[in-house]
Structure 1
Amino acid sequence: MEMTKRACPFESDVGRQLKVHVGQKEVNSGVLKEKQMQSVYDRTMNLLREGAKTMALNTSADDIKLNTSNIKCNSVDATKLKQTFLNNMLQIETTGTESQNFAVALCGCCRIIDSQSQCNRCDQILCTTCLTECADCLGSFCQNCSLLIYDNDERSLCLDCYR
């Protein structure tokens, strides 16, 4: 008489146990993802700020060295190419001449001021993101000349309208 094997009572509770190699790549994309992405974001923002400051100080293009030894170029028909230029408002144009000497103004938040936006009270020139619009008189004001009022909702008032 042959006896059958008894079934394992723990089979449904325990999954397969396998050895799994967890490398640095898996850790960076899993557990440390937020920390790694924050460090990439911080490094990128620092590079952008330094580049904006360098351009503001009118560093010549001769100081910048590029490694072009590994770049492979494909031949392209020259009639399809267009030369682009920056005008005095820092906008890209396809016609015109290159503007060599133009002043680049930076706002306190390290943004290039692209238009002549200024505070209506103190005449400080700022970028459009640093200016807030008064809810009453609809003028543009800097953070020193405006107040945020929290009534039923959040609104901005200039110092003249607040009085």
Structure 2
Amino acid sequence: MAKRRCPFDEDLSPQMKTHIGELEVLKQDENSMNNVYKKTLQALKDGSKLYPFGKGNSNVTVKMPLEVCGCCRYIDSRKPCRCSYCDQIMCNLCLVPCSKCCESFCQNCSLTVYDTDEQNMCMSCYK
């Protein structure tokens, strides 16, 4: 048995979900758009007058760059350590000593070798 035909087919026009915002309404009227452009331009000019070039709020503090670990992002207030291979700042917890040359290396520049026991070796000593 065939489906019944919809008796309202001819009466329905294609419907679409559309949102008409304030800007779309204003775009239809050229005078309204000119007012929007004037307000925007005035706001830009007023903002530039507040802080002329080279002058500004003298209360702004300059933040010094913090020494953070390149691995865990821990801020070490003591003397920062560096990887002996890539020279990246690391905390003491993220550096491992090489079992052959005894230098400190990060996880990216060292390998964990499992021979008889667990040893860390730098890339240079592993070759």
Band of TM-score, shorter chain: 0.3 to 0.5
TM-score using structure 1 length? 0.36
- Structure with max Cα Rg: 2
TM-score using structure 2 length? 0.46
